[in-house]
Chains A and B, each alone.
Chain A
Amino acid sequence: MTLTQKRLLILLAIIMVAAVLGRLAVRTVLNMLLGGALFGGNFL
């Protein structure tokens, strides 16, 4: 695996983690305001 391929793989992983964290952050804020469980129900 070349260095560029490794970097692209890391980039993909970062995007996926950020997407999950983005949804979780919104859910956390809404749960703090309105109540709710952090997991279960909708996808994040």
Chain B
Amino acid sequence: MSKEKTKKKGCVMWGFIYTGAFIAAFAISAIIKLTYHPLGDKYTVHWDETIGKVYTDLSYGDGEANKFDLYVPADATQETYGLAVYLHAGGFTSGDKRDDADMLKWLCSKGYVAAGINYTLFSEENPNANIYTQSIEIRDSIPFITAEAEKLGYKLDRMAISGGSAGHCLAMLYAYRDAEISPLPVKLVFGAVGPSCFYPEDWGIFGFDQNPEAAAAMFSVMSGKQITPDMFGTAAYDEAIKDISAVTWVHENSAPTVCAYGAYDKVQAFPASIRLDVALTEHQVPHEYIVFPHSGHGLQNDNTLYGTYMDKVKEYLDNYLGNAAGQQ
């Protein structure tokens, strides 16, 4: 074989090596980025019978979606327990309580009775489901959860409610709007990226600030009420949207709050979260409003702040809902 031919063969071989190495390194790096858990095992538990037990698909109503999962701690010796509810995300149209099993197990490992609740999602089969009807289902589920826990030997005397995105929105509605009629005192609400109010000027991400017709159509579906473009900016609109705008229900006795939002959120309106922070501050509600300056709806670009958020959740749980021994 000539020297030139050998050199050419070497070049081709290294060309393949370079290409293969590029593809492999690119793919491995992307997979690590996708699967890396920023907090490691800090807020997850290895679930077994020494931690607790889970009862799934317990019913709280006649609807197909009216089901909840209950995670009860292994230690059943306490006189009373705190209930920690976590509501799933999914834009009010998808998601399931099982999506948050890790969070619910972690809450249970802290000595709380934890509950994940499904609610009727907006879909072709359920065109009348909306944020308001979903919030009513959540409200109506709590007495059933309390009764079921007691049946299992866990007397509940206080609660926290939380969630992600749509679940956070519903959690805030329960905490700020429905707390006074709750069978359990609401001690805390926490969550991330949940819409707290629906003013079209805040919703530039969907162009609603420029298109009142689109805003009216969307907010009509969300609220289950007939909203027309001419209502924006009037007391009639405020009244129509009030039932699904958690921020309008904040008052001086509202539950302490931990919330996290992404400044670049493309799914829900970040400016609406500023209104929440203002309302909580004005009413002197103890709260942590954590803004992720580089992140969107997934809070995906600020891992350090995600750790801060979870540390604050733990701190507020300890301070306001009480510890595993039921002390507050």
Q: With A35-B296, A37-B294, A41-B293 in contact, do A26 and B30 touch (Cβ < 8 Å)?
A: yes
0/1 interface trace, chain A 1-40, chain B, CB 8 Å (1 if under): 0000001001100111111111101110011011111011
Return B30 CB to nearest CB of chain A, in Å: 4
**Contacting pair B17 A41 (CB below 8 A):** no
Interface majority SS (helix, strand, loop, mixed), chain A: helix
What residue in chain A is nearest B305 (Cβ atoms)? A41
| Count, A-B residue pairs, CB within 8 A | 106
Q: Count how many chain A residues have C-beta atoms less than 8 Å from C-beta atoms of the other chain.
A: 28
A13 to chain B, nearest CB (A): 10
| B28 x A37 contact (CB < 8 A) | no
Are the CB atoms of B301 and A19 closer together than 8 Å?
Answer: no
- Which single residue of chain B is at the shortest CB-CB distance from A44? B33
Count B interface residues, CB 8 Å.
36
Contact assessment for B303 and A41 in the assembled complex, using a CB-CB cutoff below 8 Å:
yes
State the Cβ distance, B303 to closest chain A Cβ, in Å.
Answer: 5
Please report whether the interface of chain B is mostly helix, strand, loop or mixed according to DSSP.
helix
Q: In chain A, what residue has the closest Cβ to B25?
A: A18
Q: How far is the CA of A23 from the CA of B205 in the complex (A)?
A: 26
Cβ-defined contact, A15 with B294, below 8 A: no
Contact A22 B302 (CB under 8 A): no
Residues from chain A with Cβ under 8 Å of B24 in the complex: 18
Given A40-B301, A41-B302, A22:B33 Cβ within 8 A: yes
Chain A, Cβ-Cβ closest to B303: A42
B25 and A41 within 8 A (CB)? no
Give the shortest distance, in Å, between B295 (CB) and chain A (any CB). 5
**11 new A-B contacts at CB < 8 Å, known A17-B22, A18-B22, A35-B262:** A11-B18, A14-B21, A21-B29, A22-B26, A25-B30, A33-B266, A36-B262, A37-B294, A40-B294, A41-B292, A41-B294
What are 26 A-B pairs with beta-carbon distances under 8 A?
A14-B18, A15-B21, A18-B23, A18-B26, A21-B26, A22-B25, A22-B28, A23-B30, A23-B32, A26-B30, A26-B33, A27-B33, A31-B301, A33-B266, A34-B297, A35-B262, A35-B267, A35-B295, A36-B262, A36-B264, A36-B294, A36-B295, A40-B294, A41-B295, A41-B304, A44-B33
